[in-house]
Structure 1
Amino acid sequence: MTDLSDLAIHYPVGAGMALDEHHIRQLLTNAHSWEERYRQLLQLTRQVPALPPEWRQTEFEVSGCESRVWLVLYKDEEGLYHFAVDSESRIVKALLITLLAAVDHQPADKIQRIQVASYFAELGFAQHITPSRTNGLVAVWKKMSDFCALSA
């Protein structure tokens, strides 16, 4: 079985990683159309590995999502929170990667200040994401936020 701390801490999204929030914002800002932005999002999924099979289990599944989503949560000794996600849907995984870029490897207070709807609106997704998909993304963020509150 893969070590949870190793998986979460070295998952390639978030602060100091190649796919941090600044990189994601720049990538999407440079896209001139929704189709180009969509292609860029799908390219992100090639840079982030799939979760190992042992973490794609029911206990890590997030309910309320349109497609199956798995979320692994971990708090390190310094109080930083680490997450790893996967989905059966490439576009959902891409959207989750953009969320992780803002919250992964961060302290609880920063994570809990994120306004998911506003964040996705800033990235230009608001008019392109279905309400059910938005609800799923909010469910993932809520699980992250609740984990931060419970383990603080």
Structure 2
Amino acid sequence: MAQLITDTATALTAIRQQDLPQLQQPQDWQSKYRLLMQLGKKLPPIPEKMRQNEWLVKGCESRAWLLHYYDSRTEQHFFVLDSDARIVKGLLAIMLCFVNGLTRQEISTLDLQRSFDSLNLKPYLSQSRGNGLNAMVNRIKDVVAAH
């Protein structure tokens, strides 16, 4: 799990620095869609043995797994995710860019919806994908609140 967390953190750093600024640029949907698909490929996959039902996020149309690690020394929360749908994995990679490595306090005050809206993706997302993102936000908040 430690290596998976490290690999995910490395991928998220690259996404934050290189890809999020691109997403904020005015572009047509096809360009944004291609970039989202590429983001999903940048995250390391969760090994099959870790794709347990207990980590499935309920409310996502596609299967999506969210694993959580809490570092009690630093009080930081780290997440690893995977999905069998590339576009969903790309969207969730963006979400992790906003929450990974934050403390409970930072996550509780973070307006994830506003952070996500700054990328101007919502007009292009289907209702089911929007519902899936909301389900992931709720799952993250529930997991963090339990620690």
Fold match (TM-score > 0.5): yes
SS of 1:84's equivalent? strand
Gaps of 5+ in 2: none
Cα distance change on mapping 1:145 and 1:94 into 2, 3 Å: same
Structure 1 residue 104 displacement after superposition? 0.5
SS in 1 for 2:67: strand
Deviation string, structure 1 residues 66-96 (Cα, Å, up to 9, x no partner): 1100000111121110000111110000000
- Answer yes or no: is 1:7 the counterpart of 2:4: yes
Contact 1:24 1:101 in 2 (8 A): no
* Equivalent residues of 1:74, 1:82 under 8 A apart: yes
- Scaled by the length of structure 2, what TM-score is found? 0.88
TM-score (ref. length: structure 1) = 0.85
Point out where structure 1 has 5 or more consecutive residues left out of the alignment.
none
Do residues 35 (structure 1) and 30 (structure 2) align? yes
Which amino acid is 2:33 matched to? Y
| Residues 1:53 and 2:56 aligned together | no
Describe how 1:3-152 pairs up with structure 2 within 5 A: 4-12=1-9, 13-14=11-12, 17-20=13-16, 22-30=17-25, 32-76=27-71, 77-151=73-147
- The RMSD of aligned alpha carbons is 1.7
How many residue pairs match? The answer is 145
In structure 2, distance between residues paired with 1:123 and 1:48: 19
Percent identity between the two aligned chains: 32
Question: C-alpha distance in 1, partners of 2:76/2:33?
Answer: 31
Comparing both structures, which one devotes a greater share of its residues to helix? 2
**Residue 27 of structure 1: how far off its partner (Å):** 2.1
